[in-house]
Structure 1
Amino acid sequence: MSRLFNINSEIDPLKSVLLKRPGREVENLIPSTMEDLLFDDIPYLPIIQEEHDAFAEALKDNGSEVVYLEELVAEALDAHQGHQTLVDQMISESGIYIKDVKDALSDYLLSMDTKDMVDTLMAGIRTDKLDIQSRSLAWLTDRQDQDLFLMQPMPNLYYTRDIASTLGKGMSINKMTYEARKRESLFMETIARYHPDFKGDQLPLWRDRNSETTIEGGDILVLSEDVLAIGVSQRTSGRAIEELAHSLFDKQDKFRKILAIEIPHVRAMMHLDTVFTMVDKDAFTIHPGIQDLDEKMSIYMLEPSKVEGQIKVTHHTDLTDVLKDVLNMPEINLIPCGGGDPIAAPREQWNDGSNTLAIKPGVVITYNRNYVSNELLRKNGIKVIEIPSSELSRGRGGPRCMSMPLLREAD
């Protein structure tokens, strides 16, 4: 049966959401590869899994269906017998070009049952798992360099927000910025291509992973049925936002305004949702560090132009005024991360104090470690559901980062 897709808000009741439970890919992090794989520390797998399970339970307890990326990929492959296609593409995108090695890897992966194959692709494949007898000088040189992995692990996969975005009744499958994450969206492409609940006319694709420019889901916020906010960030380019705007304006008639919000291009603020999220119809969390001393910032509003093929662009500097205008609200409440305190604000923003996941208007899931921000949210009338976060937070992402909503429905 075809699945329903519809995201017209950040805050409507969350009915269905895609997660990825941390697995062996997290254990394949080592100190020498952490930086390349975009981690600042190594999570402890048993505890990070317990914490992630608590997150999933909090979602279920509040009426959300939870589906898992790893399970959907396996179901998609079994439905269409797409194993060889995925393996070939994953080997290619892992930079493996020597025939002997490609053949050995392919045989190794295809000898597994589907679930094990998917888990292994995600976890990475150590060099010592296969005894490859290659005559290639390049392969022998690589072996002398003692590379630990034939295929690198993908420990960032539990941040499902970034690989794809449900926008209205369609989806953008995103091209990721850094090499460590580029292969991740291939799993979402496999689901969209083969899974019986996803493929077909009911899920138009506004953008695919083969685009030249990069955009990641953590930068995309659906403010209303006609307004998106997208961060111009370390990982999402202005050109990508323009390309998505052209696609949306041409292919659908709901989203007619896109706010391109510039944020500092630094790791601590890698995506818009690490510094700015919606928690109620007129309330947002914000990290004060994205505004200047006069609370100004650079915001571009993109709208369809009367000239065919062009986009109307206007520049703004007051976030509150822009939000009041596009959301038709008399007032906007910006709730500062860490209360705006010069110590608490950057500390809690580092631990994703602004990365809230709204599961209905005025109800959010947050990390328990951000107690200053959580108490301030409560004082502003927001119900806060806290989840444990000692290990989840090591990956530099919060509840919103760890979830890709598929369906929200207004009450």
Structure 2
Amino acid sequence: MILENNDFKLDVTSEIGRLRVLLIHSPDSGLGKVVPSKAQDWLFEDIVHLDTMRTGEYDYYVKLLMYFLDPDKIKGKLADIDNPESKRAFFKPDNETFHNSGKVVEIQTLLSDILQQKDIRKKLVAAVCAIEGCTYRLQLQLIDIEPVELAKIFISGSLNDEQMIFAPIPNMIFSRDIGIAINNHMLLNKPAKKARARETLLVKYIFFNHPLFEGYRDNILEIPDTVQHFLRPGEEQEGKTTLEGGDVMMVSPQHLLIGCSERTSVSGANEAIKLLFANNVVEKVTVVKIPHKRDYMHIDTVFTQVKRNVWVLLRSLTIAEPAQDESEPIAWFADKKNKDRPEIVQFRRGKKPKTFGTLEALLDNISQKDLQSTEPTRFIYSGNDEFPFDAREQWTDSCNLLALKEGVVLGYDRNDKTVGAFQKSGFEIIKVQDLLQKFETGELNPQEMTDTLILMPSAELSRARGGFHCMSMPLMRDKVH
């Protein structure tokens, strides 16, 4: 049965409007097959324990999403879902008891759906085999595998969970990076690393062929490479056209942010701006150029939005000039607070570009001008702006939060100083385990919650180097009024 959602429309106009539909990918067996010798090539920092990540961490994420987005499929069923015999089955698409939600949508489900079409199956098998250098006989073998199993193979890289036929794509858990919804358009990514080529291909086929997106085929934007790019020398040249979704934020109906980072090039940002303006998708695009460092990777590792007037961010990237007491010796780490300062340029259709001196100035402008906040803009800083906790906690995604609705965000439980900063700012703090029980008993209603940081278990997820903003591709949000 092909996944349906009769209420679906592609519509994202902010980072904080109430979330209605999102695309995720729960951890697959490929994550459990990352080996140390290939971890860097596959863009992983560490070796994760798959079962803990699945059943002790990510499953809380999916349960929470279901209570907020599709409560009829989970309310009153939590005890059965938590039964050891069914716990994993509820969340994996290849099992009969999978939730199959049309609001908390699994990439693997959509892939299985389109593979039911024989012509699509043949084309996609051929494309995957071309990328992965498979033999022709293996290509013929894959065409004859039934769709649900074939989707699993494409993602995990393994036949029957045993024989690996090509590399896994462990980064697919970070669904944000493969595309971004901008109003009623979808901007597909152009990844910086070859390790993400297969997931990009799979997602292209999904958006262009799944019935869920049939009404939006003409609104899918693909970033072209620069003219005659194939004539440029070298394979890793700096001028390469790349863009990943973690560097793209839809902050208001007519304003998009694009980060230039380790993963998104200036050329990629330029090509995206041309496409967006040519198709009248937005009126202005602000480019935020951050240092090309693994510490940051994407702009959503440096800041995310909590409310229309509240942002969480790494303060060391916002200070225009380093604060310094001349009576004290200069600390060895002080210089970093100035040298990593971003460059920020805003492009507006038909007008001259304008610049911002700091991230705080840009974010304040968004809150006050674009979102017309009636309250002053406030900033919550990673690690409570205390060295070395600011850098340590940013590394474990203290700034990478997902808003389920305005003021209600998810973050990792390990970032203690940042949690303290949220408390000082008047936010309620609650562990997801306690929250789910309160939802189940009716003590709390998800839709009535305000100003809350929900703490998620994170021992293994944080090893993968991405937070819940990375692990979500919003497809539909309510407008912020």
Q: 1:235 pairs with 230, 248, 263, which one? A: 263
1:373 matched to which residue of 2? 418
Tell me the CA shift for residue 208 of structure 1. Answer: 4.5
How many Å apart are 1:209 and its aligned residue? 7.2
CA–CA distance in structure 1, aligned partners of residues 305 and 19 of structure 2: 14
Out of 61, 69, 81, the residue aligned to residue 67 of structure 2 is 61
CA displacement 1:146-187 (0-9 Å, x = unmatched): xxx642110111000000111110101111101111221112
The CA distance in 2 between the partners of 1:317 and 1:169, in whole Å, is 31
Counterpart CA distance in 2 for 1:59 and 1:158 is 15
2:46 alignment partner, one of 27, 38, 41: 41
Paired with 2:224 and 2:137, the residues of 1 have a C-alpha distance of 27
Cα pair distance change 1:209/1:61, threshold 3 Å:
farther
Distance 1:54 1:70, change over 3 A: same
Q: Which residue of 2 aligns with 1:402?
A: 471
Q: Structure 2 CA distance, aligned partners of 1:106 and 1:214?
A: 29
Verify: 1:153 aligned to 2:168, yes or no: yes
List 4+ stretches of structure 1 deviating above 6 A: 209-212
Instruction: Report the Cα distance in structure 2 between the residues aligned to 1:201 and 1:266, rounded to whole angstroms.
Output: 36
Does 2:189 correspond to 1:182? no
Structure 1 position 392 matched with structure 2 position 392: no
Query: What amino acid does structure 2 have at the position aligned with 1:217?
Result: G
CA drift at 1:344: 1.2
Residue-by-residue CA offset, 1:200-224 (whole Å, 9 max, x unaligned): 4466013347777110000111111
* 1:196-207 paired onto structure 2 within 5 Å: 196-201=211-216, 204-207=219-222
Corresponding position of 1:102: 135
Cα distance in 1 for partners of 2:46, 2:399 equals 21
Distance 2:225 2:60 in 1: 35
Residue of structure 2 equivalent to 1:140: none
Q: Which range moves more in the overlay, 166-175 or 366-375?
A: 366-375
Q: How many residues align?
A: 381
Alignment counterpart, residue 219 of structure 1, candidates 226, 236, 247: 247
Distance of 1:87 and 1:208 partners within structure 2: 23
Distance 1:260 1:326 in 2: 14
Separation of aligned partners in 1, 2:118 and 2:452: 43
- Residue 135 of structure 1 is matched in structure 2 by none
Write the distance in 2 (CA, Å) between the matches of 1:283 and 1:209.
35
**Correspondence for 2:130 among 87, 92, 108:** 92
Report the aligned-residue RMSD.
2.2
Which stretch of structure 1 is more off in the superposition, 7-16 or 26-35?
A: 26-35
Separation (CA, whole Å) in 2 of partners of 1:202 and 1:193:
6
Equivalent-residue separation in structure 1 for 2:302 and 2:24 (angstroms):
22
Compared CA separation, residues 217 and 165, structure 1 to 2 (3 A) = same
Structure-2 change in CA distance of 1:303 and 1:293 (3 Å): closer
2:409 corresponding residue in structure 1:
364
Query: Relative to structure 1, is the Cα distance of residues 58 and 129 closer, same or farther in structure 2, using a 3 angstrom cutoff?
Result: closer
Shift of 1:229: 1.4
Counterparts of 2:225 and 2:476, CA distance in 1: 25
Unmatched 5+ stretches in structure 1: 131-148, 307-311
Give the C-alpha shift of residue 289 in structure 1.
3.0
Structure 2 residue 174 is matched with structure 1 residue 169: no
Secondary structure of the 2:409 match is strand
Cα distance 1:297–1:155, how it changes in 2: closer, same or farther (>3 A)?
Answer: closer
Contact 2:69/2:104 (8 A) holds in 1: no
SS in 2 for 1:301: strand
Secondary structure of the 1:4 match is: coil
8 A contact 2:178–2:244 mirrored in 1? yes
Identify unmatched segments of 5+ residues in structure 2. 71-102, 227-239, 323-340, 427-450
2:150 is aligned with 1:117: yes
Could you say which residue in structure 1 is the equivalent of 2:359?
Answer: 319
Q: Does 1:245 align with 2:285?
A: no
Cα distance, 1:349 vs structure 2: 0.8
Is this contact kept in 1: 2:115–2:151, CA < 8 A? no
Amino acid at match of 1:107: L
2:373 corresponds to 1:305: no
In the TM superposition, what is the alpha-carbon distance from 1:293 to its structure 2 partner?
A: 5.5
The answer to whether structure 1 residue 264 and structure 2 residue 294 are counterparts is no
Inter-CA distance 358–80: structure 2 relative to 1 (3 Å threshold): farther
Cα distance between partner residues in 1 of 2:118 and 2:421 = 49
Aligned residue for 1:369, secondary structure, equals coil
